[in-house]
A and B are shown apart, each in its own frame.
Chain A
Amino acid sequence: MSRDYQTQTPIAARVVEFIQESDAIFTLRLQLEDAAERARYQFMPGQFNMLYLFGVGEVPISIVSDPLDDDIIDHTVRVVGRVTRGLAQLKKGDRLGLRGPFGHGWPLALARDKDLLIVTGGLGCAPVVSAINYALKRPEHYRKLSIVQGVKHANDLIWQHRYDDWREREGVEVLLAADEAGPAWPFHVGRITELLDHVTTAYDNCVVMICGPEGLMQRAAELLLEKGVPPYSIYLSMERNMQCAVGHCGHCQLGADFICKDGPVFVYPDIRERLLQEGV
């Protein structure tokens, strides 16, 4: 069954709010301009949109808002290249193009009535934020939510207030680690994988969602396997050069998978071998 023609041509969206999260990270809150498109648009956490900056190009950005939020689609973006540098200049009321949503998201239905463990590394991992928000809004569906975040330097941690908020919630634990920390860092100093010894997730009855650099995802997933997490309970969000987002342009191939349409979220056993290969 072929999808809507519209998925390959953008539709116009308007910036309703621009939030500067840190020096290099910002959130674009977008609303589709056409009412019929607004009504039609649906997504799940972990999916992404192609955002189009007029005259510059497109870039894949994961959606961080909640599927039930009215009309507003949030994208948290890190400035890394030409398009994202341009997106960072947008202001409230500016227009851009959007097509999507694309890909398979997090297995939030599978995680129901289980512990949910989120492991992220690096600078603010947007793909899991939507899953965290989704679970926080539906506490009755999940037994416990554990969020494990690691950064290289303590200064890299953005959204500290958000972690503080999350930590206050009932049934939520937040563990933070920095490889290198200053004297004011109250959390763990060391590798993120060391936190997995302290997290209280029931490893035999959980779903794990991991996002971050491939090496970190691989180490975390292997450690969790050792700790008894069933392999098919571990999910990873992958990243590659995505241009068409519909499995045609060939850039995001990972072995036989097209990350844009077969991912970006994969169950670990399906890509375990790939993470160990160089140049794939």
Chain B
Amino acid sequence: MERQAPRFLARQNFPLLLEQLVEHGYRLHGPQVRDGAIVYDTFHSVDQLPRGVQDQQQVGSYRLITSSNKRLFHWANGPQALKPLLQPAREVLWQAKRDANGALAFMVPESSIAKVAVIGVKACDMAALALQDQHFLQGEYEDPGYRARREGLFLVAVDCSYAADTCFCASTGDGPSAQTGFDLVLTELETGYLIAAGSDKGLSILPHLPLLDAQPQDLDIAQQQHADVVAMQSRALQPIPIGGLDRQRGHPQWQDIADRCLGCGNCTMVCPTCFCHHQKDELAIKGDESQHVREWDSCFGESHGELTGFQVRKTIKHRYQQWMIHKLDSWQEQYGRSGCTGCGRCMSWCPADIDFVKEANVLGGGSE
């Protein structure tokens, strides 16, 4: 469903939206300040949301500042959003049991659908969700655990009213306003919220809220806000044609990056579209039961490209190439578009200050 025409929800009535979602059986999950960052987790009250908080992000830096601003969503993003919810960093896929006679039985953990309403999903993360859906649900094989978790989600997106220095979603075409995939979408204004449905689930919530007609001046402000956030974005990822980076494997800039890159994999951990995970067995101490676990993995890790006795990607240069060429180039062949949605996390959380956008623009043949 396309984004519907918005109505208006006064600021003091915002808690009613949360109440309605709880009323409809959803657990609330949303942004809050913890350990100096905005993180998404379960919450119960509007007071837990990051009111008056703003993130100041630069390559290699993430800091929060607070102000008297009443807004709840006047920030860009934190290190994670939806990915840990749908693709947990650690998950038991199945369990094997061996009886005294050596017979094996395999069991899959119950994946009951938990109803979770995520409040305040930014446009970059909505776009990333669509990419994860493609990977885990729309290929030849469907991931059953991801499917169960995805089914239970109610997504309340919010248009960005602020961009960090690391944001570049306008250049990837994914923001700063949410476009599709949400159940409800909010535009936060000083006095309240424009609210619109994007699905039947979202439509069914609206009649329970004390909504007013959106005033023309509110719509104007929303439009201006969007334009301001676009203008605020100081960096832009130049489009890369299919093969555009793959053909540049001989470029000297890769070695220059590799000399700075620590190979830590932070970029892949915070990237909302990175999907790599490894699988391993954990045998119970009694020896009769073993859990088959999957955990996030990174193409920067030594074991990622390892076959027994053979390492496919021996150097950090090869691993950085795998990360960037996959993300921006071969992803297009796999899923019809680039795997980057402009959130900028890979830069903020890079301990070596590597500017992904600048490097990609150099390697892609354009300007910085």
**Contact surface of A with B, Cβ cutoff 8 Å:** 1-3, 5, 7-12, 33, 52, 54-58, 80-81, 84, 93-97, 239-241, 243-244, 246-251, 253, 255-256, 261, 277-280
Main secondary structure of the interface of A (DSSP, over half): loop
Residue of A nearest to B141 (CB): A246
| A240 in contact with B249 (CB, 8 Å) | no
Determine if B312 and A279 form an interchain contact, defined as CB atoms under 8 angstroms apart: yes
Query: Per a CB cutoff under 8 Å, which of B104, B305, B312 touches A97?
Result: B104
Inter-chain CA distance A12–B98, complex, in Å, is: 11
B61 on the interface (CB 8 Å rule)?
no
Residue of A nearest to B107 (CB): A9
Taking residues whose C-beta sits less than 8 angstroms from the other chain, chain B's interface range is 35 or more
Residues of B within 8 A of A (CB): 93-94, 96, 98, 102-106, 108, 135-136, 139-144, 246, 249, 275-281, 283, 287, 290, 292, 294, 297, 299, 303-309, 312-315, 317-319, 321-322, 326, 330-331, 333-334
CB distance from B109 to the nearest CB of A (A): 11
Q: How far is the CA of A137 from the CA of B143 in the complex (A)?
A: 38
Q: In the bound complex, how far is the Cα of B279 from the Cα of A255, in angstroms?
A: 22
A171 to B317, CA, bound (A): 50
Give the residue name and chain of the A residue nearest to B280 (CB): A57
B290 touches A55 (CB 8 A): yes
Taking A244-B294, A253-B322, A280-B312 as known contacts, 7 extra A-B pairs with beta carbons closer than 8 A to each other, sorted by chain A number, are A2-B141, A12-B104, A12-B105, A54-B104, A243-B279, A251-B297, A279-B318
> Given the complex of chains A and B, what is the CA–CA distance between A95 and B309 in angstroms?
28
Q: Point out the residues of chain A lying under 8 angstroms from B139, CB to CB.
A: 247-248, 261
What are 24 A-B interface contacts by the 8 Å CB criterion?
Answer: A3-B140, A3-B141, A3-B142, A8-B143, A9-B93, A9-B94, A9-B108, A54-B98, A80-B308, A93-B102, A95-B104, A97-B96, A97-B106, A240-B305, A240-B307, A244-B279, A244-B294, A248-B135, A248-B139, A249-B279, A278-B318, A279-B313, A279-B314, A280-B322
Interchain CB contact under 8 A, B276 and A250: yes
**Is A249 touching B326 in the complex (CB atoms < 8 A)?**
no
- The answer to whether B249 touches A247, judged by C-beta atoms less than 8 angstroms apart, is no
Contacts of B326 in A (CB 8 A): 253
Q: Is the CB of B297 within 8 A of A10?
A: no
Return chain B residues, CB-CB under 8 Å to A8: 93-94, 141, 143-144
**Complexed CA–CA distance, A248 and B94 (Å):** 16
Taking a contact as CB atoms under 8 Å apart, the answer to whether B106 and A249 are in contact is no
Q: B249 contacts A277, CB within 8 Å? A: yes
Residue among B307, B314, B315 with the most chain A CB within 10 A? B307
**Given A2-B141, A241-B304, A246-B140: A10 touches B279 (CB 8 Å cut-off):** no
Q: Which residue of A lies closest to B254 (CB)?
A: A279
Task: For A250, give its contact among B96, B98, B141, B297 (CB under 8 Å).
Answer: B297
Residues A256 and B105 in contact in the complex (CB < 8 Å), given A52-B96, A54-B290, A246-B141:
no
